[in-house]
Chains A and B, each alone.
Chain A
Amino acid sequence: MPDLHGLIYAYHSSPSLGDLVEPRTSASLPFCSRYRLIDFALSSMTNAGVRDVGVIMQHDYQSLLDHIGSGKDWDLSRLSGGLRLLPPFGMRDSRFGEFRGCLEALAAVKTYIINIKQSHIVLFRGDLAVNIDLKAVFEAHLNSGCAITAVCSENAAKSVGDIFFVRETPDTAKQLLFAAPTGMDALASTEVYIITKDLLIDLIEWSNANNKKHFHRDALSHYLQEGGTIGLYCHRGYISHISTVTDYYNANLDMLNQEYRNDLFSADSPIYTKGRSSVSSYYGEDSSVNNSLVADGCYIEGELTNCVLFRGVRVRKGAKLKNCVIMQDCIVGDSASLSYVISDKYTVFSNGLVLSGSRALPITVPKCRII
């Protein structure tokens, strides 16, 4: 068993996801027909043999709780350790509103961190669609001797403050990272780190003393300025950090690409999710379907082109769906025509309805509507 503990940030609801995060946090967003985003963090950890995992949450976590339950689907329901849910703790100085940064979230669970048995901690965002080989990251981390190792990717979205550049070192095991000067095209961090427990506690204490909130911008900059070194692990596979409706739409449609799909749902390191025992999907006599992903329990009598369908969706006769992402148990009525639509769960599209968005601006339909 690796000397590694998992911590997942699942408290955040990215405002740019609009209606999609109205009933949930980013980490519990449904993704690719049957998954939730947090499945990637949980499965990456389980696949690396990590068996103690804390999930930091703050509000709107009903759907997340419903999804992860006791953690048994990831084999994290254990007699000792296993999954630990970390909802906010009512402190005297309890703050209202969302944590203003990862560091504030970590500070809120400081007592938990202090009691962690393992000497290393992997910090993982709950809103990434990525399958990271954490066993390899941990090995690189131990070999480099650095107190912190960053998982970087050329494919990660670049946002201010998380850009690194790599300084060549003679020893390849010891590639080091530095904060890149603004404007420089450099490697982006996936914001997945392996850090020693001691350093993490130091950084939390420093941030408390200095009223800092951001792990990357504040704590890591401080750490680098003090002469600290950051090890590097480059993740070569698919990654999407889902923070806007467009990110969400594109990442789902990316899964129609076999290469991306095989990479994210590799047979060697499967992504686990909450089981829902349902029937297989049925295609009717007049159905037509191409380039689409369909989960179990669907009943398809219409046409699908470039679509991602979640479980239990019904597509009635003559309905045409193009470039759509349709979540669990929606019903698309006779001869309805939808294109570039993202529909949340349990929504009903009436017979003959026509609804068209565009690639740049897909239409998002909230949960449980009748349109």
Chain B
Amino acid sequence: MKKECIAMLLAGGQGSRLYALTSRTAKPIIPFGGKYRIIDFPLSNCANCGIDVVGVLTQYQPLQLNSYIGSGQPWDLDIARGGVYILPPYQSAGSKGEWFSGTANAIYQNISFVDMWEPEYVLILSGDHIYKMDYSDMLEQHKAHGADCSIAVIRVPFEDAPRFGIMTTDDEGYIHKFSEKPREPDSDLASMGIYIFTWQKLKHYLIEDEKDPQSEKDFGKNIIPSMLSQGEKLWAYSFEGYWRDVGTIESLWESNMDMLSPTLIDLYDRSWPIRSRSPIRPPHYVGANAAIHHSIITEGCEIYGSVSNSVLSNSVSVGEGTVVNYSILMPGCKIGKNAVIEYTIIGENAVIGDGARVGSPPNGRTDILITTCGPDSIVDENARVEAGAMVY
């Protein structure tokens, strides 16, 4: 069946910088912003702009990811002529099968999947970014420029540029140079890790790259530089709006805090809904002595204490006399009575005992130390968990 453009979503990485939070689950399904999981953002973006074939490349801890995606129904991707496909590494005749050894290798191993749809273009996405984006606009630009590859870029402060892949372009957006994490950047246009390739070109470079034993089989490190050096047409697609990479504990915490400000990203906008698979739970209940300020609360929560500047996923309970401040409470976690939770991320189904003190405010320090309690972890009654510690 022919499709003009299909999406391939890279969801197999370990997310090792999230430590305890990804010890048993893949990063793309880390709970986010109360109602969501990270992967809801690229999946909803695809559905909203009419891309109805999404291959999800999985490798690290895929079980929960697989069951979360299921038939794709929550994103309206359970369709007969297309839909969402989970693509794990596999064996085939003549090869004993291999793990995906890099982002480019993951697509290389699935060339036959892409070919099934005979697409003109392939959109490459990753499962660890928070943003709302209309890929069809990027595709229009790609076609108008007759590009071989388009890379979505966003302006970042010059001092942050060394953390990103940086594009140097002319005024129109034609890419002259790409530098992966440059020490002395000459541009502030950072790659968002979102690419549109003309499929036949990409296929050619994937096959060539596979023959190079020195290659790390990575889009940023190998495919893009090699296309540039061979004079292919690479264009930047400039994106304005909210975009965050949530690969670390700090960025995950900060980005969740951003969700409290609708001026940064409007999740209430019904013309571009971000959809999620969520359990059917009763409405959240707020008790007679509870107080909630500047916070996000989700269905199934039972709040008896005081919650401020925090993001609560579904089915979280907060006991009487407890104070939760600047924290992220993931689905099903239970906070006892008279506890204090500050600047902390609490994983799914973790239990915090009565009177426990977890984390503390920065108190004038410029670096904020985020405390983490991993999924299913237990903090005993009256225990003290220091700022920046990790319980798992």
B34 touches A294 (CB 8 A): no
B268 touches A299 (CB 8 A): yes
Instruction: Flag the segment in B214-222, B233-241, B275-283 that touches A.
Output: B275-283
Q: Does B128 contact A (CB under 8 A)?
A: no
Which chain B residues (280-315) contact chain A, with CB distance < 8 Å?
A: 280-299, 311-313
A280 touches B280 (CB 8 A): no
Question: How would you classify the secondary structure of chain B's contact residues: helix, strand, loop or mixed?
Answer: loop
User: CA separation between A281 and B299, bound complex, in Å?
Assistant: 8
With contact pairs A279-B268, A299-B268 given, residues A288 and B297 touching in the complex (Cβ less than 8 Å): no
B268 touches A289 (CB 8 A): no
B283 touches A33 (CB 8 A): yes
B35 touches A261 (CB 8 A): no
A32 touches B282 (CB 8 A): yes
B292 touches A297 (CB 8 A): no
User: CA separation between A309 and B286, bound complex, in Å?
Assistant: 12
Shortest distance from the beta carbon of B264 to any chain A beta carbon, whole Å: 13
Number of interface residues of A (CB under 8 A): 40
Q: Mark B134-172, 1 if CB is under 8 A from A, else 0.
A: 000000000000000000000000000000000000000
Query: A287 touches which one: B282, B292, B312 (CB < 8 A)?
Result: B292
Instruction: Flag the segment in A50-58, A198-206, A264-272 that touches B.
Output: A264-272
Query: B299 touches which one: A34, A261, A271, A290 (CB < 8 A)?
Result: A34
Q: Which residue of chain A has the shortest Cβ distance to B299 in the bound complex?
A: A296
Q: Does A285 contact B (CB under 8 A)?
A: yes
Q: Which residues of B contact A280 (CB under 8 A)?
A: 33-35, 296-299, 311-313
User: CA separation between A294 and B298, bound complex, in Å?
Assistant: 9
Question: How would you classify the secondary structure of chain A's contact residues: helix, strand, loop or mixed?
Answer: loop
With contact pairs A256-B285, A258-B285, A290-B290 given, residues A283 and B295 touching in the complex (Cβ less than 8 Å): yes
Shortest distance from the beta carbon of B337 to any chain A beta carbon, whole Å: 15
B280 touches A272 (CB 8 A): yes
User: CA separation between A308 and B286, bound complex, in Å?
Assistant: 11
Which chain A residues (267-316) contact chain B, with CB distance < 8 Å?
A: 270-273, 275, 277-297, 299, 304, 308-309
User: CA separation between A256 and B262, bound complex, in Å?
Assistant: 30
Q: Does B260 contact A (CB under 8 A)?
A: yes
Q: Which residues of B contact A297 (CB under 8 A)?
A: 268
With contact pairs A258-B285, A282-B295 given, residues A277 and B278 touching in the complex (Cβ less than 8 Å): yes
Which chain B residues (259-280) contact chain A, with CB distance < 8 Å?
A: 260, 262, 267-268, 273-276, 278, 280
Q: Which residue of chain B has the shortest Cβ distance to A43 in the bound complex?
A: B280
A282 touches B296 (CB 8 A): yes
B282 touches A33 (CB 8 A): yes
Q: Which residue of chain B has the shortest Cβ distance to A307 in the bound complex?
A: B286
B275 touches A261 (CB 8 A): no
B280 touches A275 (CB 8 A): yes
A294 touches B280 (CB 8 A): no
Q: Which residues of B contact A255 (CB under 8 A)?
A: 282
B288 touches A291 (CB 8 A): yes
A265 touches B290 (CB 8 A): no
B298 touches A293 (CB 8 A): no
Q: Which residues of A contact B35 (CB under 8 A)?
A: 278-280, 296
User: CA separation between A290 and B275, bound complex, in Å?
Assistant: 29
User: CA separation between A208 and B242, bound complex, in Å?
Assistant: 67
Shortest distance from the beta carbon of B317 to any chain A beta carbon, whole Å: 11
A279 touches B278 (CB 8 A): no
Which chain B residues (39-91) contact chain A, with CB distance < 8 Å?
A: 73-74
B288 touches A271 (CB 8 A): no
Q: Which residues of B contact A273 (CB under 8 A)?
A: 280
With contact pairs A280-B298, A284-B293 given, residues A293 and B280 touching in the complex (Cβ less than 8 Å): no
User: CA separation between A293 and B291, bound complex, in Å?
Assistant: 14
User: CA separation between A289 and B281, bound complex, in Å?
Assistant: 20
With contact pairs A279-B35, A282-B295, A283-B297 given, residues A290 and B286 touching in the complex (Cβ less than 8 Å): yes
A281 touches B280 (CB 8 A): no
User: CA separation between A278 and B274, bound complex, in Å?
Assistant: 8
B273 touches A277 (CB 8 A): yes
User: CA separation between A308 and B285, bound complex, in Å?
Assistant: 9
Q: Which residues of B contact A271 (CB under 8 A)?
A: 280, 282
Q: Which of B35, B273, B282, B289 counts the most chain A CB atoms within 10 A?
A: B282
Mind listing 5 A-B residue pairs with CB under 8 Å? A280-B298, A283-B292, A289-B290, A290-B288, A293-B286
Other than the given A273-B280, A283-B295, 18 more pairs (CB < 8 A) read A32-B283, A265-B282, A277-B273, A280-B34, A280-B297, A280-B298, A281-B297, A281-B298, A286-B293, A287-B292, A288-B291, A291-B286, A292-B285, A294-B286, A295-B283, A295-B299, A296-B35, A299-B268
